[in-house]
Amino acid sequence: MSETIQRRSRSDKLFLAAMLLGSFIYLAITIGLAVWAFYLQSDSRSSQAMLSAWSATAFGFIFLLGLPGVYWAIRGHYRTRDPVSRPKPAWAIALIFIPVGICLGSAPMFQLPIPSLLGSLGYALAIAAVVLAIVLIVRWLGPPLSARRAWGHFLIGLWGMPIAALILEGLLFIPSLLLLGLGLMLSPDGQALLEMGTTYIANDPQILYESILSLTMKPWVIGLTFLNFAFLVPLLEEMIKAMATLPLIRRKITPAQGFLGGALAGAGFALFEALFVAEPGQAWLAILIGRTGTTLMHILTAALTNWALVRSVRDRKWGTFALAFAGAVGLHGIWNASSVGIGLAALIIETEQVGASAGFATLVACAGFLVLIALSGLALVALPWISRRLGQMESAAS
């Protein structure tokens, strides 16, 4: 047996093991949350039971999305031929779930008699269909790819990247929490808030809320927030997104395949995020619109990072990777900074209906919304254009 065949056989076994392990983990989480939701409901804690039930539904949805990966991993393990192709046009039928999901998800907005959990499931179907639509466009226009590799890229983003991000971001926030604690001890407002947490005054939610809000508006707290969410988190997440093609670097995949693999992994990562952004019973339509833009951003930045990584490894020119990675981090950072700015502006507007601060906050919120719309439009145009361009260049080269 040649070295290449041995390496492929070993990678097929690792892929199958990863798929089976991932399926087991997410199935166990789903069952555990469902049992916990049943217990909470029997203990008359309905609101907590609803949250657990929704979490069980989301994790169950993630588990089901992994089953095609298990199927293709088993076929690869037994050396069954997996042709390189593009998705069939019939896949477009699944996009019917977008309007169906929107109807179910937005039902609470119109006070329709639909259970909140069912409305939440509608949101899950809608955002999954949105992700599918973006993936289909990129796959139709990009280079052909085997189904096994496509599902592998997607599940790295859906199963692997979020866990890595949660662990590393948790470690990343430790220094920020230490700085926040130091700031609380050194600032008068912080000392008052800490004292409030240990006295009877904390029993008054309004006083506690106003104290937290006042502290949030401090320049050093705002600066710490922007440092984390507009720089450190994008830097870490874009590094994690390189997981999409790192396992295949030694197989000498093309830059076009790297772009497509990154896009698929970014889609999985975005879908995982989107499933845990709100609680059951909320109006999902506004959230769905916002998550569509975030999904486009995640897919574009992951695609750029992995395209640059593959090309830099092939050509031994790491300047390309540095520029593309900096661009991906920049786009991600601008998106996060705009979102944080909108959130802070909303707090100011809520507490100060009139005045200079409220007027300035309104301008910040409007500017943030315009930036998010512009970045969403950029990603919506860039993804299909770059996919088609790279696919044409690969076809011409071969």
Using the predicted structure, report yes or no on whether residue 258 has a pLDDT greater than 90.
yes
**Weakest mean pLDDT among 92-96, 156-160, 205-209, 241-245:** 205-209
Using the predicted structure, report yes or no on whether residue 129 has a pLDDT greater than 60.
yes
**Residue among 249, 248, 243, 238 at smallest CA distance from 265:** 243
Using the predicted structure, report yes or no on whether residue 353 has a pLDDT greater than 70.
no
DSSP assignment letter at 157:
I
**Residue among 351, 282, 357, 234 at smallest CA distance from 106:** 282
Are the C-beta atoms of residues 292 and 131 closer than 8 Å to each other?
no
- Work out the mean pLDDT of the chain and round it to a whole number: 83
The first and second tokens of residue 53, run together, are 């039930």
370 vs 382: CA distance, rounded Å: 18
Q: What is the mean pLDDT of residues 180-184?
A: 67
The pLDDT score that the predictor gives to residue 188 is 67
Helix (H) or strand (E) holding 27: helix 3-42
Residue range 151-167, pLDDT digits in tens:
999 999 999 999 999 99
CA angle 34, 36, 38 (to 5 degrees): 70
Sorting pLDDT into bands at 50, 70 and 90, what band is 1? very low
Are the C-beta atoms of residues 365 and 388 closer than 8 Å to each other?
no
**Residue among 17, 150, 5 at smallest CA distance from 74:** 17
The pLDDT score that the predictor gives to residue 264 is 97
CA angle 144, 299, 161 (to 5 degrees): 100
Sorting pLDDT into bands at 50, 70 and 90, what band is 194? low
Using the predicted structure, report yes or no on whether residue 285 has a pLDDT greater than 80.
no
Residue range 309-351, pLDDT digits in tens:
999 998 888 888 999 999 999 999 999 999 999 988 888 777 7
CA torsion sign, 260 to 261 to 262 to 263? Answer: positive
Residue range 67-85, pLDDT digits in tens:
999 999 998 888 777 788 8
DSSP assignment letter at 218:
S
The pLDDT score that the predictor gives to residue 117 is 66
Q: What is the mean pLDDT of residues 220-247?
A: 90
Sorting pLDDT into bands at 50, 70 and 90, what band is 215? low
Burial class (CB in 10 A: 0-12, 13-18, 19+), 193: middle
Give the Cβ contact number of residue 37 at 10 Å. Answer: 22
Using the predicted structure, report yes or no on whether residue 282 has a pLDDT greater than 60.
no
Using the predicted structure, report yes or no on whether residue 107 has a pLDDT greater than 80.
no
Residue with tokens 């943030």: 368
Are the C-beta atoms of residues 196 and 327 closer than 8 Å to each other?
no
The pLDDT score that the predictor gives to residue 167 is 92
Sorting pLDDT into bands at 50, 70 and 90, what band is 187? low
The first and second tokens of residue 68, run together, are 């095609």
DSSP assignment letter at 245:
T
Residue range 371-393, pLDDT digits in tens:
999 999 999 999 999 999 998 88
Sorting pLDDT into bands at 50, 70 and 90, what band is 260? very high
Using the predicted structure, report yes or no on whether residue 3 has a pLDDT greater than 60.
no
